Each structure stands twice: as C-alpha cells, then as structure tokens.
C-alpha cells in the first residue's frame, strides 16, 4: 500500500495577508503550521505535498489543480480565523456538505485540535461556497485552529510548542481515522 498522500495548503500568502492583528499575519501562521504538518507527515510515514513553500499567493484554482495532479487523497487547507472583536476565540473545521469522508476527517481533526489546544469548540461546519472544498475530487477540510485577532487565542499560538504540538495531533488524528477506515497500515 502506498503512503497516504496529503496536499497541505497554507492559506493566503504574498499580497494577501489573511487576518491581521498588529504585526501578526495569518499567512505566516498558516505557512509555519503547514511546514510542521509537512515534517510530521514525513516522520509518520505519510506522503505530503506542500502547495506553497514561501510567501507568495496561489490562485484557488491553482491550489486545487496542484493537489489533483499530485494525486492527493486528502486536501488540508490551513487557515487561522479573524474577527473585528479581539474577544473572538475558538477552533473550527469546515468541509463540503455531503462529503462522506470530508465530514469524518473534519470531525477527527477538530477533536484533535480541541484536545491539543484546550480552546472553545466552534464546531465542525459545512461550506459549499469555499472553492477549495467545493472543487476538489478528494475529501477536503479547512481548519481554523485559532483566531489571529483573538487576545485569548494569541496566548496559545504564541507558545513555543504551538506549531509542533498542533501539527502532531492533526496528523495523528488523520492517521487514526485512516486506520479505522483501512486506508493505511
């Protein structure tokens, strides 16, 4: 059996910073977490494909096309939330409605992130408007571990072990589901 192929999509990039809180840009948090996800995949024997390895932006169609061409079995779009209020906080995961495997990956990843972060559960949600969820042929999830703009969440994502610890729990959650589904050894 071939190693499970995950397309890791760091959201935003280049001139698109995503959510901003002072000098903290979502695009940077996304890229840092994605780099740790990539390393963790390699360490766990998976086959990751990083869609963006630097500070540049890819069009949404390019992101989907790259994942398709790479033969990805899961599309993991990495984001961090933003809101006008600094009181906004919590963790959420999105998937395309009706995606049988998308909802399973979203539920496992969401629970793993909650366990790792101890954050408020904003739930697993569906979205049929997000291009990367709607246009992929493989299951796709979009994670929003924390709010870039949230004062409470900033204390979590500023910790030294944030990226490594979160990446490990996300990948371990994916591996656990794959074992239950018989998708990996």
For 59-76, write each residue's pLDDT tens digit: 999 999 999 999 999 999
Structure-derived torsion over alpha carbons of residues 154, 159, 164, 168, reported in degrees to the nearest 10 = -70
Res. 185: pLDDT tops 60: no
Give tens-digit pLDDT for 78-131. Answer: 999 999 999 999 999 999 999 999 999 999 999 999 999 999 999 999 999 999
Res. 2: pLDDT tops 90: no
Structure tokens at 43: 């360490």
Residue 183: the pLDDT is 82
Res. 133: pLDDT tops 90: yes
**Burial of 75 (C-beta count, 10 Å sphere; 0-12/13-18/19+):** buried
Decide if 96 contacts 128 (C-beta within 8 A): yes
Res. 149: pLDDT tops 70: yes
Structure tokens at 166: 């979160």
Residue 105: the pLDDT is 99
The architecture CATH gives domain 14-34+46-59+76-93+106-181: 3-Layer(aba) Sandwich (3.40)
Task: Taking residues 158-170, report their average pLDDT.
Answer: 98
Give tens-digit pLDDT for 174-184. Answer: 999 999 998 86
Residue 116: the pLDDT is 96
- C-alpha separations of 71 from 46, 66, 89, 122, 140 in Å: 13, 9, 35, 31, 13
CA atoms of 142 and 172, how far apart (whole Å) = 17
33 phi/psi in degrees, rounded to 5: -65, -40
Residue 165: the pLDDT is 98
Residue 168: the pLDDT is 99
Domain boundaries, the chain: 14-34+46-59+76-93+106-181
CA atoms of 70 and 103, how far apart (whole Å) = 22
- Average pLDDT taken over every residue of the chain: 97
DSSP 114-142: HHHH---EEEEEE-SS-HHHHS-SS-EEE
Neighbours of 179 (CB within 10 A): 11
Residue 184: the pLDDT is 67
Residue the block writes with tokens 């993991």 = 76
Residue 1: the pLDDT is 63
CA atoms of 17 and 67, how far apart (whole Å) = 22
User: Percent of the chain, pLDDT > 70?
Assistant: 98
Residue the block writes with tokens 């949230």 = 150
């Amino acid at each position: 059996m071939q190693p499970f192929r995950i397309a890791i999509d760091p959201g935003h990039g280049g001139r698109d910073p995503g959510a901003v809180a002072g000098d903290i840009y979502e695009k940077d948090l996304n890229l840092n977490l994605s780099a740790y996800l990539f390393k963790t995949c390699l360490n766990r024997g998976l086959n990751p494909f990083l869609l963006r390895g630097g500070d540049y932006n890819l069009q949404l169609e390019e992101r989907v096309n790259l994942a398709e061409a790479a033969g990805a079995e899961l599309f993991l779009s990495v984001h961090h939330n933003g809101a006008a209020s600094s009181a906004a906080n919590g963790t959420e995961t999105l998937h395309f409605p009706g995606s049988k495997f998308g909802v399973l990956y979203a539920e496992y990843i969401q629970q793993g992130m909650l366990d790792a972060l101890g954050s408020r559960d904003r739930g697993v949600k569906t979205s049929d408007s997000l291009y990367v969820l709607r246009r992929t042929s493989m299951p796709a999830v979009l994670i929003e571990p924390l709010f870039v703009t949230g004062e409470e969440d900033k204390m979590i994502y500023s910790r030294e072990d944030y990226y490594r610890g979160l990446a490990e729990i996300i990948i371990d959650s994916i591996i656990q589901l794959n074992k239950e589904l018989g998708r990996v050894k």
